[in-house]
Structure 1
């Protein structure tokens, strides 16, 4: 009888990177009776399903042979032109040639990791930072280091000190309504980081899935707007929060040499993003008023944010602190010392309410008192009911 050998082992990187605890929490809270402040999901009742259906119907009726066929890796020219026009209108001069369409901005991160990072390269991130970015960089074998932050985001002086001592390849930022904290990086800090990138030769990665979800305050300049950093800034964008995440459409804007490397990496990954979805998105942008749709969405999200803010003082333990985001989908809570948000979550789920503990978002030592609360997927009335449940937990 043949001796059966064991299969070869997994790659070391697959064994070293954990699954997303946020995804696991979402699985635990999928019961319809749970009021969840956990998931960073857009509100499904606000999707423009009729407009999107009309866009798909139009492209499938008018040119099915093209939209159901293979396409070019860079992406649908009409869609790239429409994205470029939106950037230009918002102050960042862009052409279609500056962009590659990706399967969500998450794929853009993966392409950048492939094109830029060697195992052992150092990446700087906000602390706390977007969890899936931490996963992506760790899968690439990078050494991920946290940058000290305050209520306004990364401290440029702290970045400068880490650049001198650690020689990082890139700094990853979510400068607008950051995930998980909801904070926004001020213009003067953006200018300081642009100057630092030019002086010290660091790539800036500006991930901006939430920037068009502003409720109040003034828009801040793009990092790529600063001339000194224009040749070393990558900007990632997505339709997931403004149209529908199920379309899996994002994009990457980068200088020509890096963009070309990312195109080659994408060819190896998936050849191109779904042709029909790109064509439908381009048709939607041509036929519908995305800005009017966003105005409707942001009005609803502002009311939901306000409902959450209004109830926190009566819900959380005395001495808790939280911020007031000007847009986006999240706010950040610090419980008093001695509280453990991860342990308390288990109790919260028994009360049919949930949030995300802050600990998984830290690249360095975690603060166990922190938690992220998303306000987009429930009405103000449901948010009030969820806070009453959460008050019993605390």
Structure 2
């Protein structure tokens, strides 16, 4: 026991003098390691008689606990001293601005969708939505395109193999016009015979086509107004008012040309005047300027009587007009983009260039006042 006491005193002194954590670790290994003197002392208990073991074991365990406590206390003191020295040597300038955090951006299509909703809300329109997987009755038949109608071939439709509940075909909608039919039916159900309505139907649509100006999936917005005693003049005013607010210019000129769509009669194509500025099409301008041209922008017309009937409206009491245009092309025209496919590539470089800040988005300063 005298030798054990001497070793303990020497170890405690060495622990107290340890200047680093590495030096302290050496003392721990020397005393409490597998070959440390305390561990060796504990192994001698096996060769002792019960009486000797009863006397020696508590003394050795007491030494072991005292050494362990001393090491733990010294370790805490050394770590505290190291932290204090680090804090004294390192400084943080709290006046410096924080590093910029990575930020996402609003896709141009989402931006234009928001602008459309804002403009038409000012004109009293509501936003309507519907399923992207449609049946051919809502997508074609209710829009005056029966099974043999040649206009069905114009849409390059993606069909599903499963049959619709009515025995027809299921498909990815080729336009958002089915939303108009569903909305008309809902209004007619609540108000037999029909009621005034104004809506826009923005959303994704699908056609089997792909090039610089066509993609298999793209975005459309269609508008529908149903009321009494309305005509093409109301349609033209609505479109001009929208375009003036969207492009934020007063010199927007719209030209209507006779056309054909199965769901409208009469049908008109709407052309907008534009000029070329540094290789870019800029909507608006003076029609007398050199280089002023017309560009087909959208299709429109008065709602066909058969479509009104399919929607549950009495065509002798109600008239309507409708239009449809591509949201992606509107974005291309307004923000100077030249390839529709880039909208769907997900290239972060393109998005960082053409995207909009999620908080600080541009606003339509003129609203619809410029066209009213």
TM-score, normalised by the number of residues in structure 2: 0.21
Structure with the larger RCO, 1 or 2 (CA within 8 Å, 6+ apart): 1
TM-score, normalised by the number of residues in structure 1: 0.20
